[in-house]
Every structure is written in structure tokens, then in C-alpha cells.
Amino acid sequence: MGFAQIVGGTRHVFPDLRALLACATPFRSGDALAGVAAESAAQRVAAQRALADLPLSHFLHEAVVPYEDDEVTRLILDRHDAAAFAPVAHLTVGGFRDWLLAEADGAAISALAPGLTPEMVAGLTKICRLQDLVAIAAKCRVTTRFRNTLGLPGTLSIRLQPNDPVDDPKGIAAQVLDGLLLGAGDAVIGVNPATDNVDNLCRVLGLLDAVRDRYAIPTQSCVLAHVTTTMLAMERGAPVDLVFQSIGGTQGLNTSFGVSLSVLREAHEAALALKRGTVGDNVMYFETGQGSALSANAHHGVDQQTLEVRAYAVAREFRPLLVNSVVGFIGPEYLYDGKQIIRAGLEDHCAGKLLGLPMGVDVCYTNHAEADQDDMDALLTLLGVAGVTYVMGVPGADDTMLAYQSTSFHDGLYARAALGKKPAPEFAAWLERMGLAERTPEALPAPMTVAGLL
Amino acid sequence: MTAPTLWRDLRRFTSARVGLGRVGHALPTAAHLDFQEAHAQARDAVWSALDTASLAAALPGAQIVASAAPDRRSYLLRPDLGRRLAEGTQLAPRPGCFAIVIADGLCASGVQAQAAPLLAALIPGLERAGWDVAPPVIATQARVAIGDDIGQALGAAMVAVLIGERPGLSSLDSMGIYLTHAPRTGRNDAERNCISNIRPGGISPADAAAKLLWLVAAARRLGLTGVGLKDEQPAVLEGETPTLLK
């Protein structure tokens, strides 16, 4: 079935839902690269009008990636909760936007989440301005727990990201201390390993767990290795709090990441069996990002933002503690400049929250993108207003291992201060206890030394 | 009791931007401008070109090829072009060989400096292991997957792509190596193994060559590269042996 809309005297025709969603997407380089972007501004707004008139229920009858070919589509449709969907079943996409902005509250949105498909949510975000994406996300309530409580109203958490180019224990420890001094680390202390090697993984896991244990920090650690490497580490008895994996919105993309739903299920069960969480059992950590499916040639002609939201259906299957879009990491061929990165970050956050995920954003850019610190300040501030669950904390915003710029520990302090946000309550209490909450740290507290951690 | 560690002393342990101090919640002016300077240099590095002539002069028999991307801007916006050889590129078949590709990637300076020292350590090791090593192919405006096209054209059993990594603020000179068994057009990234951060302050060319030789031997034994080939050799670190905790 196709769709048609007249704009400015011209009749625009869209052959299927896939084309309608793609043409309705605000411009970004990745959709042009894929050859699915609208060919004119008029065609784009025609698609947006047609999309706004589409009943939400239509999304249950037309898949953008064939059900027979793709386990993510099967997951989305097989898991759809018709009872949860009932309150909005009579609405169009445009009516859904109006309902979210005017009437819905946090409880209603939480109850609705299992009734929403990623494609419905993607469609919604395509007809939202930035302020709508902020306002809708700010209504959502998503709380997760492991050793602390993330996502409570009035909080903003930080992943402490002490990456080192060679996983040098001293380099990692020094960055961990720097971050703790500046109030970061309540979301997770999470290292991207320089090499995906099980010995190395066990070594870094041991270091992070020892730091946490030594100072009794109410947080969790993670080394962001491939899920299969983390499973080997768990078999060896390594202290694995959270299982990490990069995921995507199509089976083909997940295959290119070397994962499947069954592998993720196996890892999830193994991590749950360790019972390391003290206040909850959300044990998974996922990262995603617009453009990755096209990058892996697994996009099925679907626009990159719709595919990104489909990745969140994979994530929600495993009740994660943390999910973040690494929005500006992928490069200018997918998100060309600060304008495109800012919009994508707000889309990803809003869509993830509507689907019930504890959504963070890696507010970031690479040196081959047309973006700079001013763009990151804008996105960070907007996300803070939108109630983002967490952002990254990297020393001086410079990740020396991954060679990109993310938010700094200072940026986290700025956002909390400017927006009146606090860390997760357990972590905030720990900062108070350690005397780190309000001080300008000329010196480390007496027990904290790099040597003491090694 | 020892004296307390000063915050700025953390810099002794890492090249990361730790111990910067703070004014209010922000960076002090000098640290802020240090960052701006580093970003400006990295932006310029993205647009630097590989000096193929001097690289070829150091590598006997090397052949220079180009990807299908006509210029830097096209390269940045069209990664698909950077993954393919330019139309009409001729490479002499060398069935069963070990192919080496040197690609500019997103920053030429690291490859420029480190490809030759790495190959000086790598090629003798490959030859000792019985490989027929093809002369290096130098590829411009190239991405990792151009190694699949090149490997397929040569009929190579394996290909190692040495490629300039995206420049970071603290690393304008970093090289990565991607190893692919049975390269052919259409391979995906889960079918490769990667060694990254080969640069001063990261992994040395000699250590990277040793690691690659280990991966090549394991790949030959297993008949594959990628997530099925776990890097299980003991961790090799520069300097002292890591101290175990607790």
C-alpha cells in the first residue's frame, strides 16, 4: 500500500511505510548516503503530513524490514502488548504527538511503553521539533538499579570513562581518581578496552572492582568488551557487574557485531546468576548509534533513525541498567555537523525514553565532523533539560584511546549546577561522606592515591 | 604517613587530560585554550595527504593505487567509494600470498611515520612462517574494506591493512591494522581482527608486529579471522609487569 500527499499543488507519492518514514526524516547525510532521503524540502513536508495522518495501528500491519528475514522485526511484533497499546490505538501519529504534549504524564507513558513499536516512536519523532523532543522526554520516568538507583527525577548521572590507549592500570587509575574528584562515576565506571583479549579483560575488571571495593563506592563497573569475551571472563570468575554490547536495529547489523538475540540472552542469564547487584538486577549495558546499520550494509533501505529506534527494541528485551546512543561517534557521512548531531541526540534520547529505556547519550564528535565544543554544550544542556539519565565523563573531554571528544567531568558538573541536578542518591551520599561533594580538590583525600590502587 | 597526592600529580600517570583544575565548574582558561589548539591541529590533520612517493621509495616493489573516491570531501561523505578500488585498477594475481595494504584512512601522518618500521619487523616474521609476502599496495582515499578488493584481486590468503586512524586531540599519528582471512569483496567487520593505537605513547611498531604475527598464525590454524579468533595471548605491556590487585 502506498501514501500520497499534495503540497504546493504537487502530489507526492510514497510507495510504502519505509519510504514514507525515510522521506519524512529531517535531513542528515547518512540518509542521503543510503539514497533514501527526501529529494526536496516540499517532498519532506509532504511525507511529514502523510505520516501525521497515519493511524498508529498501521504500524502493526506493515513491517519496514520483513518479518520472515529478521529476528528484530519478529521480536518487535511478537512482543507487542495490545492491552498496553489500547489507550492510543485510536490515534494517528499526529494525534499521538498532540496527546503526548498535552495530556500524557509519566505514569501513562510508562504504562504505554510495551504497546509502542520502535517504528511508531520513530514516526512520532520525525514530526517533532527539538522542543517537542525535550518536552516529551522530560515527562518520561525510567528508573533502573544495580548498586545504586539511576534515573530518579532531579538526577543526572555520569559514566566515568577512563580509557587508556594500552589499558595501563596506572593510566586508568589516575583517570578514575580524577573523575571521582569531580563527582563522576554514578552511572558506571566503564572502560573501553584497547584490545578485546580475555586476559586483559580480567585484569581491567579486577582493577575497577578493587577501586570500587576499596572506597566502598556505590556504583558498578564495566569493561566494554565484546559480549562473548565477557562471557569467557565470567567463566573464569572475573568480577563482572554489567555485560556490555553494541547492538543495532536489524539482524544483519547484529550479525556484523557478532551477536544475536540468543547470544545476548545467554549472557544476560549468566550475569544475573552472579547476583552482584545490591539494590537491583539490571545487569546489561548497551550502546547504539544512528548510521551503524548502513555502515554494515544491513539497512534494508530504511532510514537510519528508524533503525536506531529498532535497536532499542533489542535493548528493552534485556532490562538494561544503561543504554546510550554514541551519537556523534560515527562520523560526518552519517551526521554531518553540529546541527545534525544535536537533533539526532535529542531524537535518540526521546525515543529511548518512550520505549522505557534508561537512556543516556554520549554527547560527542570526531575530528572529521563539522562540530566543536559549542555544539556539545548546546546538546548537553538540551539533554539535561530533557532529563537525560546519564552522559559520559572523560578527562578534559579528550578520549585518548578512542580518539574522539565526549563530555568532560567538568561538563557534568556544569550541567548539574546549571540545571539543579544531583547524582544518583547513593552516590551523592558517598561523595558527601568522602568530602568530595563541594570542595575544589587541590589535593586528593588522604586515602586516595594511584599507587594505593595498584 | 606520606604527603597527600596533589591533584595535578595525576598527570604523571597518564597522557589523558587529568588534574586540569577548575574555575567554578569550568576549565581554567589555559586548559580551555590548550584544548582548542589541539582540536584545530586535529581538524587540519584530517585533510593532510599521504606522501605516496616517499613511502613507495622505502618499500621495494610497492604499487600505488587509489580508491573510487575522487577527493577528500567525497571520501568523507561517501565511505562506500573509499572501500572500492578505482575503476580499471590492475593488480597482478599472486594466489595464496599474504597481502599488505597501506592506506591513508582518516589521517595520513601516522601511517607515513610507522608503516615502514612495522613492515621491517613484520615481513621477516611472515617469511619465517613460510608466507609468500606480496609487495605492499599503497592506497589513497582508502578505507579498511579496500583490503577486501585488493586481496581478492591478488587471490591472497590473508590481508593486513595498515591504516591511519581518526586523529584524536592527543594522537595525530595513530595507525591501526586490520587482519582479514580469505579477503573478498563484501566481508564484514566481524570477520576481521584489529590492533589499534600504534603510535608513540601507544603500541610500538615492534610490539604490533609481534601481535599481528600471533594473530596470523592463529588465523591460519583456525581458518578464520574475526570474533571467532579470540586474542588469548598473554597481555604484552610496555614497561613493568602489571601488579596484581589485592
pLDDT at A195: 83
Contact residues for A443 (Cβ-Cβ < 8 A; gap 6+): B4, B5, B6, B7
Considering just the CA atoms, what is the radius of gyration of chain A in Å? 21
Same domain, A234 and A338: yes
Which residues are registered as beta bridge partners of B64?
B138
Q: Do A404 and B166 touch (CB under 8 A)?
A: yes
Q: Do B197 and A166 touch (CB under 8 A)?
A: yes
Summarised one tens digit per residue, pLDDT across range A230-258 is 999 999 999 999 999 999 999 999 999 99
Strands A188-191 and A221-223: parallel
Annotated binding-site positions of A: 159-161, 192-193, 245, 287, 295, 362, 401
Chain A CA closest to residue B31: A396
Q: Is the pLDDT of residue B93 over 50?
A: yes
To probe the interface with B, which of A410, A436, A438 has the most B CB atoms within 10 Å? Answer: A410
Q: Is the pLDDT of residue A448 over 90?
A: no
Whether A222 maps to a domain, the answer reads yes
Same domain, A61 and A175: no
Predicted confidence band of residue B245 (pLDDT cuts 50, 70, 90): very low
pLDDT at B228: 86
Strands A404-405 and A398-399: antiparallel
Mean pLDDT of A415-419: 97
Whether B99 maps to a domain, the answer reads yes
Predicted confidence band of residue B1 (pLDDT cuts 50, 70, 90): very low
Same domain, A102 and A182: no
Mean pLDDT of B16-40: 95
Chain B CA closest to residue A167: B237
Mean pLDDT of A409-429: 98
Q: Do A256 and B166 touch (CB under 8 A)?
A: no
Same domain, A178 and A95: no
Same domain, A118 and A253: no
Count of structural domains within chain B: 1
- CATH number for A168: 3.20.20.70
Same domain, A220 and A276: yes
Which range of residues forms the domain containing residue B162? 52-222
- The packing angle between helices B29-46 and A373-386, to 10°, is 110
CA distance linking residue B82 with residue B70, whole number of Å? 9
pLDDT at A438: 72
Whether A139 maps to a domain, the answer reads no
Task: Give Cα A149 to chain centroid, integer Å.
Answer: 17
What SS3 string covers chain A?
CCEEEEECCEEEEECCHHHHHHHHCCCCHHHHHHCCCCCCHHHHHHHHHHHHCCEHHHHHCCCCCCHHHCHHHHHHHHCCCHHHHHHHCCCEHHHHHHHHHHCCCHHHHHHHHHHCCHHHHHHHHHCCCHHHHHHHHHHCCCCEECCCEECCCCECEEEECCCCCCCCHHHHHHHHHHHHHCCCCCCEEEECCCCCCHHHHHHHHHHHHHHHHHCCCCCCEEECCCHHHHHHHHHCCCCCCCEEEECCCCHHHHHHCCCCHHHHHHHHHHHHHHCCCCCCCCCEEEEECCCHHHHCCCCCCCCHHHHHHHHHHHHHCCCCCEEEECCCCCCCCCCCEHHHHHHHHHHHHHHHHHCCCCEEECCCECCCCECCHHHHHHHHHHHHHHCCCEEEEEHHHEECCCCEECCEHHHHHHHHHHHCCECCHHHHHHHHHCCCCCCCCCECCCCCCHHHHC
Chain A CA closest to residue B166: A403
Whether A398 maps to a domain, the answer reads yes
Alpha carbon of A413: minimum distance to chain B alpha carbons (Å): 6
Q: Report yes or no: A75 and A317 within 8 Å, Cβ to Cβ.
A: yes
Q: Is the pLDDT of residue A388 over 80?
A: yes
Who has greater pLDDT, A2 or A362?
A362
Say which of B4, B167, B171 has its CB closest to residue A444.
B4
pLDDT at A449: 76
Predicted confidence band of residue A440 (pLDDT cuts 50, 70, 90): low
Percent of chain A with pLDDT strictly greater than 90: 92
CA distance linking residue B222 with residue B224, whole number of Å? 5
Q: Report yes or no: B145 and B188 within 8 Å, Cβ to Cβ.
A: no
Chain A CA closest to residue B34: A396
Mean pLDDT of A135-156: 98
pLDDT at B48: 86
Mean pLDDT of A124-141: 98
Q: Is the pLDDT of residue B244 over 60?
A: no
pLDDT at B243: 29
Chain A CA closest to residue B38: A398
Say which of A367, A396, A450 has its CB closest to residue B166.
A367
Total length of chain A = 454
Whether A396 maps to a domain, the answer reads yes
- CATH number for B198: 3.40.50.11240
Same domain, A104 and A245: no
Say which of B22, B46, B202 has its CB closest to residue A410.
B22
At CA A450, angle to CA A284 and CA B205, rounded to 5?
75
Q: Is the pLDDT of residue B238 over 50?
A: no
Which range of residues forms the domain containing residue A9? 3-131
Count of structural domains within chain A: 2
CA distance linking residue A391 with residue A413, whole number of Å? 11
Summarised one tens digit per residue, pLDDT across range B124-159 is 999 999 999 999 999 999 999 999 999 999 999 999
Considering just the CA atoms, what is the radius of gyration of chain B in Å? 20
Lowest mean pLDDT, pick from A287-291, A328-332, B227-231: B227-231
Summarised one tens digit per residue, pLDDT across range A290-322 is 999 998 889 999 999 999 999 999 999 999 999
Whether A190 maps to a domain, the answer reads yes
Of A382, A413, A433, A343, nearest to A157 by C-alpha is: A413
Which amino acid, A426? E
Contact residues for A239 (Cβ-Cβ < 8 A; gap 6+): A205, A206, A209, A221, A276
Chain A residue numbers touching B38 (CB-CB < 8 A): 398
Summarised one tens digit per residue, pLDDT across range B44-71 is 888 889 999 999 999 999 999 999 999 9
Q: Do A229 and B230 touch (CB under 8 A)?
A: yes
What are the C-alpha distances in Å from B72 to residues A334, B66, B67?
16, 12, 11
Predicted confidence band of residue A403 (pLDDT cuts 50, 70, 90): confident
pLDDT at A443: 74
DSSP string spanning chain B? -PPPPBGGGGGGG-SS------BTTBPPHHHHHHHHHHHHHHHHHHT----HHHHHHTSTT-EEEEBS--SHHHHHH-HHHHTSBPTT------TTPEEEEEE-TT-HHHHHHHHHHHHHHHHHHHHHTT--BPPPEEEES--TTHHHHHHHHHT-SEEEEEEEPPPBTTBSS-EEEEEEES--TT--GGGEEEEEEESTTSB-HHHHHHHHHHHHHHHHHHT--STTS---SPP--SSSPPPPP-
Predicted confidence band of residue A146 (pLDDT cuts 50, 70, 90): very high
Q: Do B243 and A178 touch (CB under 8 A)?
A: no
Q: Do A443 and B25 touch (CB under 8 A)?
A: no
Predicted confidence band of residue A108 (pLDDT cuts 50, 70, 90): very high
**How many contacts does A have with B, using Cβ atoms within 8 A?**
205
Whether B227 maps to a domain, the answer reads no
Strands B98-103 and B63-66: unpaired
Chain A residue numbers touching B11 (CB-CB < 8 A): 174
Mean pLDDT of A135-139: 98
What are the C-alpha distances in Å from A333 to residues A34, A129, B42, B143?
10, 23, 18, 13
Contact residues for A436 (Cβ-Cβ < 8 A; gap 6+): A180, A181, A183, A445
Q: Do A33 and B77 touch (CB under 8 A)?
A: yes
Same domain, A63 and A162: no
Which amino acid, A378? A
Summarised one tens digit per residue, pLDDT across range A30-67 is 999 999 999 999 999 999 999 999 999 999 999 999 99
Same domain, A107 and A164: no
Same domain, A152 and A124: no
Positive or negative torsion for Cα A41, A46, A52, A54: negative
Percent of chain A with pLDDT strictly greater than 70: 99
Q: Report yes or no: B162 and B179 within 8 Å, Cβ to Cβ.
A: no
pLDDT at A314: 98
Say which of B7, B25, B42 has its CB closest to residue A414.
B25
Same domain, A317 and A440: yes
Whether A136 maps to a domain, the answer reads no
Whether A138 maps to a domain, the answer reads no
Q: Do A454 and B168 touch (CB under 8 A)?
A: no
Q: Of A131, A160, A181, which residue is a domain's last? A: A131
Same domain, A329 and A445: yes
Predicted confidence band of residue B236 (pLDDT cuts 50, 70, 90): very low
Chain A residue numbers touching B202 (CB-CB < 8 A): 165-166
Q: State ipTM.
A: 0.94
Q: Do B18 and A443 touch (CB under 8 A)?
A: no
- CATH number for A71: 1.10.220.70
